[in-house]
Amino acid sequence: MSAVPAVAEPTGAVWLDFLKKWARIGGTKIFNFVAGLAILVALWWLGVWYITLDPALEHFRSFAPNRAIFEGIPAMWEFGGIQRGLGASGYRLGMGMLIAIAIGVPLGILVGRSELFGDMTHLPFQLLRMVSPLSWEPIAVIAFATWDRAIIFLIVMGAVWPVMFATAAGIAKIDPAWFKVARNLGAKRLHVLTQVILPAVTYDVLTGIRLAVGVAWIVLIPAEFFGTRAGIGYTIEDARENLFYDQMMGMIVLIGVIGYILDTILVQLLNRANWVRET
């Protein structure tokens, strides 16, 4: 083994080096990132300021970023609205995504691998995909005993299609020679699945999951406006009824931030799963 010998270097110097490099490469990026965010907040502030020039709309002042972020969010944290809301919504999102993946990936593999199955299910799946997930809501409410289950069902109906179609597209791109090589080296069916098909499509599946989380996140919040007694959507609706506009706006900020964090995590996973080299 030709391990590179570790050169003893003072940790301080290493850190300084790292920071210098970071400043050179990451510096401008971070600056742009912060500047963009600052412009968004400024526009938001400006909008609220303009609206509240009219004395009749004075109470909309609570929509301003300072009120939402420094008063609304801490207040909701204090009485536990955020924690409870995130717990309930997170559970629904997680369950919905798990079920969507558990259904979507095998279906996608079937569609991609079996021409017969793919041809037969093409039209039905396309039709179902085009149905806005929220339009299932009345049916879901009747069909499921609890709101939790009904909302999970709505998430599944929105999230399963991106996962399925992305998986099928990934399967279609697999080089048939890989199957030949695997068989040639004594692979059984299970090996072909775990060593060839799944690794080959992981990136595509994750792309589908990323899209699906976006859809699920959009479906989740309006689905929680009515009927439930917990969740992010419920918390917003609750704040509106009590005229806590700063909390309402604070919740909207949180929805954006959490959605962004989820998406960033998935992008990290995607980068890791991407085995394609640009030449």
Partner 1 sequence: MGVRGVRMKIQGLTHRYGARSPLTFDQIDLEAQRGEFLAIIGRSGCGKSTLLHVIAGLLRPTSGTVHLDSELVEKPSPRWVMMFQAPHLFPWMRVTQNVGVGLRFAGWPQKRIDERVNEVLELVDLRDFANSNVQDLSGGQQQRVALARSLVMEPELLLLDEPFSALDAFTRADLQRDVRSIAKRLGISLIIVTHDIDEAVIMADRALIMVGAPGTIYKEELVINLPDPRQREDAAVQYMRKQLMTAFYDAAGSAPSAVGRGNGPEAEEAAPVRDKAGAAPTKRRIVPAA
Among 123, 130, 177, 241, binds partner 1 (CB under 8 A): 177
Least Å distance, CB 269 to partner 1, is 14
Cβ nearer to partner 1, comparing 68 with 205: 205
Q: Considering the complex, state which of residue 113 and residue 191 has its C-beta at the smaller distance from partner 1.
A: 191
Which range binds partner 1 by CB under 8 A, 105-113, 144-152, 183-191, 228-236? 183-191
What is the chain's Cα-based Rg? 24
Alpha-carbon gap, residue 231 to 205, rounded angstroms: 28
DSSP state of 91: H
The yes or no reply on residue 276 touching partner 1 (CB under 8 A) is yes
Greatest C-alpha distance within the chain: 79
Question: Which residue in the set 5, 12, 124, 186 belongs to the binding site for partner 1 (CB under 8 A)?
Answer: 186
Task: Identify the DSSP state of 60.
Answer: G
- 188, 243, 265, 267: which one binds partner 1 (CB under 8 A): 188
Q: Is 200 in the site for partner 1 (CB under 8 A)?
A: yes
Do residues 230 and 84 touch, judged by C-beta distance below 8 A? yes
Residue 186: which region, alpha, beta or left (left: phi > 0; alpha: psi -120 to 50)? left
Task: Please report, as a single letter, which amino acid is at residue 261.
Answer: I
Which residue of 91, 144, 178, 225 would you call a contact of partner 1, by CB under 8 A?
Answer: 178
Q: Does 270 bind partner 1 (CB under 8 A)?
A: no
Residues 1-20 contacting partner 1, CB under 8 A: 2
What is the rounded CA–CA span in Å between residue 187 and residue 253? Answer: 51
Q: Distances in Å between the alpha carbon of 225 and those of 109, 144, 148, 173, 234?
A: 36, 17, 13, 41, 5
State the nearest-atom distance from the C-beta of 34 to partner 1, in Å. Answer: 35
Instruction: Specify the residue, 86 or 187, whose C-beta has the smaller distance to partner 1.
Output: 187
Alpha-carbon torsion, ordered 68, 69, 72, 78, to 10 deg: 170
Q: How far apart are CA 245 and CA 239, in angstroms?
A: 7
> Residue 129, interface with partner 1 (CB under 8 A)?
no
Least Cβ distance, residue 187 to partner 1 (angstroms):
5
Residues 250 and 129: their CA atoms lie apart, in Å, by 33
> Which residues in 230-259 contact partner 1 (CB under 8 A)?
none
Minimum Å gap between C-beta 263 and partner 1 is 24
* Smallest distance from partner 1 to CB 276, Å: 7
With CB under 8 A as the contact rule, the residue among 38, 181, 243, 265 that binds partner 1 is 181
Q: What is the spatial distance between Cα 124 and Cα 113, in angstroms, rounded to a whole number? A: 18
The amino acid at residue 158 is G
**In the complex, what is the shortest distance from the CB of residue 107 to partner 1, in angstroms, rounded to a whole number?**
23
Query: Exposed, middle or buried by CB within 10 Å (0-12, 13-18, 19+), for 170?
Result: buried
Q: Which of 5, 11, 184, 241 binds partner 1 (CB under 8 A)?
A: 184
The nearest distance, CB 175 to partner 1, in angstroms, is: 7
Judged by the rule CB under 8 A, the positions of this chain that interact with partner 1 are 2, 175, 177-178, 180-188, 191, 195-196, 199-200, 202, 275-277
